[in-house]
Every structure is written in C-alpha cells, then in structure tokens.
Amino acid sequence: MADQLGKKRQVKDAVRENLREYIVTYVFLALSVLFVILSGRTLQDIFSQLMGRLTRNLFIVLSLIIPIIAGMGINFAITIGAMAAQVGLMLAINWDLQGFTGLLAAAGITLPLAAFFGFLIGSLLNKMKGQETIGSLILGYFANGAYQLLFLFIFGKVIPLSSKVTIVGASGVANTLNLMGGGLYMALDKIWQVPFDVCLYVVSGVILAASITLFLLKKMSRKRFIILASVSVIFSALVAFVPAVGTMVGTTTVPIFVFLLVGLLCLFNVVIMRTRLGQKFRAVGQSRTVANAAGINVNRVRVIAIMISTVLAGWGQIIFIQNLGTLQTYSAHEMVGLYAGASILVGGASLNRATNTQAIVGTLLFHLLFVVSQDAGKTLFGNANVGEFFRVFVAYGVIAVALVMHTWRANMARAKKSTLQA
C-alpha cells in the first residue's frame, strides 16, 4: 500500500517536473493547434509548407547546441556565420559556378571565413563572460554594419565583380541575387527527392530494426525500446491506413540529401560529446571554476565551441538560401539568430542545456506557428498584419521568457546556496 502511494507520488513529481521543464513547449503546442484550426487552411497545404521550412531551418537551429552545452547561452552571433556564407554564395554566383559545384565552392569559402570570424567572436565573448547572449546579439548588429560596408563600398569598387552580382549605376552588390540562373537553386534538394510516405516507411523500418537489435543485444533500455518501436509503427500505420493523414502527407516530397546532412549533424552533436573535447565542453558549461581547476583551458574550449557553431551556421545558411532561390543580399542574415534561438527554446532547451530532439521539435513547432499565424490573425481580427506582428512578438517573447526563467532559477539556486552556507 505504502509502496503504491510512493510510486504514485513519484509519478506525480515526475509529471510536475516535466511540466516545469517543458511548459513553454506545451503552451506553444496548444497555441499551434489552435492556430491551425483558426487558419482554416488545408492540412495538406500546411504540411508541405512546413516540410519546406524544416528543410531550410533545421541545420541552422542544430548549430546552436554546442555553445549552449559549453555554457555560452544562445549564440546569436550565428548571424555572422550566415554573413560568411553569403559572401561565399555571392562569389559563387560571381564566378558563374553551377549547381552542386557552386554550392560546394560556397561552402568551401564559408569554412575558413566563418572559422576565422568564430575565433574573433569567441575571443570577444571571453571578455564578457556571463553576458554572452546580449554580447553575441550586439556583435551580430555590429557585424551587420561591417557587412554593409563590405558589400556596398568595397565589393564592386575595390574588389571588382562581374555584372552577374552588380547593377550598373548603383554602388556595391545588387540588392537581390537570383540563384535560378546558375542552377544553384535547390541544387541540394534536387539531388534525391522521395515522397514523404515512402521515406517514412523506410525510416521507420530502419529504426524498428535497429532498436530491436540493440534491445536484444541489451544495449537499450526496455522503456526506450518501447517508445521508439511504437512511435515508428504508429506513424507508419497512421499514414498507411488513415485516409485523412494519407492525403495530408500526399504530395509532399522529402529532399533526402538535406535531411542526410541534418542527420549527420545530429550524429556529430552526439558523437562529439563522447570525445575528450565534448567532455571539456560539458565541464566548462557546468562550472568554469571547476573546469579551470581541472586543468582545462577554459577560454580555448569556449572559442572552439563558437568556431564550430559559426561554421555550421554558415553551412546552414547555404542550405537555407539554396532552398529559397533568391538571396536578399542586405537582409537575409538579419533574422537568422532570432528565429533559430526562438526555435530551440520553444523545443524546451534552456540557456545551459539543449539536445537534438529539442532543436528538432522546437523548429517544427515554431515554424508551424509561423506558417499559420497570418491566416489565424485574419480569422481572429480580420487583419493578416496582426498575425505577422504576432509571430515576431512570439519570437521575442519566447526568448524573453526563457531568459527570465533561466536567470530566476539560477538566482534562486544561488540564494539557497548562500542561506545554506550561512
């Protein structure tokens, strides 16, 4: 009897804990469902748009994870990585490099540029420990100024460019660069496209097989096995046997190559945590003082974390732009940090803890709201602009709430510690 009561309390505590951790995610989920209903759009339409947005954004959001684990908060300076990528893309168009080669060249240019900028960002953030979130935000703004200077007054004047990226009579690089001409548009997406249902069956099959093997080899807990196996079976069954769900995913295709890249990045995020470098990230993230005492070069580890993040974000921006088809030279990078940061926080990450799952779930929810908010605003207030403003508000609001909750908790923990000491 007592045992049962204890168990009940345990479950209750676990639920409460889970609620507290993921309250933002649940509120967001409820909001998204409400908005989907209010928007009055067909699920099929929403689903295909959402798939496009996932293709574009997942990689960038995943690039935020390592700095979070290293205790540097949300690296809003990934905008600088995006700027490096735009330099690469601009040059690729300028040199008339075609298709996949062009994107590869852009990625190749991004790598050293973004790594160098990452080094600078990391070094600067080391001088403002504890203020990295705001520091990286303002650094992003600052870099935007330098970027405008480069694109308006140096490219095309000091560094000559071809007529592909400039406009006669105007200074600097053109406002909009078109990727359709050189065949850069969807060069990654088009490599291998598979209908969503086929893709789902294959992935489910692989997951099912893998989890059964691992379970039989006793490398996976029973709980985890049941969750993975049932999720893959249920989703496949839903698509295969429920006609409504079937039509929803109907015409949507999945750009396999991009998702392979995303998968590789997830794997990278997991694997690197098992290396010595990953252990250092974690140690520095938990406590700089302890890590320092253990002989870790804290500053160096933090710089490496930012460098990796900046390069990955740059590559993410290339994936983003090739999917979009046009590069808004002077504004494409501006919102990158805001939307990626809001996405990962919506998924339940905090300023010192983040996982791949949180990043993926967060991107899904955040962009679901993005897709439907305009129409929902129209239904609710008769004005699509309200929905437009609402999604910007949500992006800022989510970050504000996450920051408030994080600081609040940290301050409470510190207060508790000091009363204990006293």
Partner 1 sequence: MKKRTTSQLAVSALLILIALALAAAGAWGLAARGGQEASDNLLRMRNYAVLRTASGAIIEETVLQAKRDARDVGRDKGLSRNDITVLMDEQGAIAQAAAEERYQTFDNLDTQALSLAVENLESAMSRYTALETREKAAYADEWLAQQEALEAAQAASGEEALSAETQAVSEDAMMAATQTRVDYSGFVPSAELSLLEEGLTPSYDAMYDVLAAALPDLRPEMREDLRPSLLEVVQGGNSPFVQEYDNYASRGAQGVLEGAEARNMIIARQAGNLIVLAVGFVIFALTVYYYKALKRSLGMPRLVISLFFILLCVMAALYNINVPGMISTVLWRTGMYGVLALAMLPGIQAGISLNMGMTVGIIAGLISTLIALEMNMVGWGSFFFSVIVGILLAIPIGLVYGKLLNRLKGSEMTVSTYVGFSFVSLFSIAWMLLPFNNPKLTWALGSGLRVMHNMGDSFGQILDRFLAFDILGVHVPTGLLLFFLLCCLLMWVFTRSRPGNAMVAAGANPRFAGAAGVNVDKMRIIGTTISTVIAAVGIIVYSQSFGFMQLYNGPRQMGFVAASAILIGGATVSRAKVSHVIIGTFLFQGVLALGIQVANAAIQEGGLSEVMRILISNGIILYALTQSGGESRG
Is position 153 an interface residue for partner 1 (rule: CB under 8 A)?
Answer: yes
Is position 353 an interface residue for partner 1 (rule: CB under 8 A)?
Answer: no
Is position 152 an interface residue for partner 1 (rule: CB under 8 A)?
Answer: yes
The interface with partner 1 within residues 122-141 (CB under 8 A) comprises: 124, 127-131, 133-135, 137-139, 141
Q: Which is nearer to partner 1, 133 or 232 (CB)?
A: 133
Is position 378 an interface residue for partner 1 (rule: CB under 8 A)?
Answer: no
- The distance of closest approach from Cβ of residue 124 to partner 1 in the complex, given in angstroms and rounded to an integer, is 7
d(CA 273, CA 280): 9
Which listed residue (18, 227, 397, 413) binds partner 1 by CB under 8 A? 397
How far is residue 367 from each of residues 109, 158, 190, measured CA to CA in Å?
29, 40, 22
- The distance of closest approach from Cβ of residue 266 to partner 1 in the complex, given in angstroms and rounded to an integer, is 28
- For residues 129-160, one letter each, b for 16 or more C-beta atoms within 10 angstroms of the residue's C-beta and e for the rest, the string is eeebbebbbebbeebbeebeebbbeebbeeee
10 Å CB burial of residue 60 (0-12, 13-18, 19+) is: buried
What six digits make up the tokens of 56?
């574009």
d(CA 243, CA 241): 6
The residues pairing with 326 across neighbouring beta strands, listed in sequence order, are: 178
Q: Which is nearer to partner 1, 57 or 133 (CB)?
A: 133
10 Å CB burial of residue 14 (0-12, 13-18, 19+) is: exposed
What six digits make up the tokens of 400?
């504000």
| Binding piece for partner 1, criterion CB under 8 A, among 86-94, 186-194, 225-233, 390-398 | 390-398
What six digits make up the tokens of 353?
């803890």
Which listed residue (149, 209, 234, 242) binds partner 1 by CB under 8 A? 149
Q: Are 258 and 55 in contact (CB under 8 A)?
A: yes
Q: Which is nearer to partner 1, 74 or 304 (CB)?
A: 74
| Binding piece for partner 1, criterion CB under 8 A, among 2-10, 90-98, 233-241, 402-410 | 402-410
- The distance of closest approach from Cβ of residue 78 to partner 1 in the complex, given in angstroms and rounded to an integer, is 17
Looking at residue 364, its amino acid is L
∠ CA 344-346-350, rounded to 5°? 65
- The distance of closest approach from Cβ of residue 386 to partner 1 in the complex, given in angstroms and rounded to an integer, is 5
Which listed residue (53, 56, 280, 288) binds partner 1 by CB under 8 A? 288
Q: Which is nearer to partner 1, 203 or 380 (CB)?
A: 380
Is position 26 an interface residue for partner 1 (rule: CB under 8 A)?
Answer: no
- The distance of closest approach from Cβ of residue 421 to partner 1 in the complex, given in angstroms and rounded to an integer, is 15
Q: Are 26 and 19 in contact (CB under 8 A)?
A: yes
Q: Are 87 and 148 in contact (CB under 8 A)?
A: no
- The distance of closest approach from Cβ of residue 393 to partner 1 in the complex, given in angstroms and rounded to an integer, is 4
- The distance of closest approach from Cβ of residue 89 to partner 1 in the complex, given in angstroms and rounded to an integer, is 21
Quick one: residue 348, left, alpha or beta (phi over 0 = left, psi -120 to 50 = alpha)?
A: left
d(CA 25, CA 187): 34
Is position 381 an interface residue for partner 1 (rule: CB under 8 A)?
Answer: yes
Contacts 24+ apart (CB under 8 A), 274-282: 277/301, 277/304, 281/66, 281/69, 281/70, 281/305, 282/69, 282/70
Q: Which is nearer to partner 1, 169 or 243 (CB)?
A: 169
Is position 169 an interface residue for partner 1 (rule: CB under 8 A)?
Answer: no
* Residues binding partner 1 (CB under 8 A): 124, 127-131, 133-135, 137-139, 141-142, 144-146, 148-149, 152-153, 171, 288, 381-383, 385-386, 389-390, 392-393, 396-397, 399-400, 403-404, 407-408, 410-411
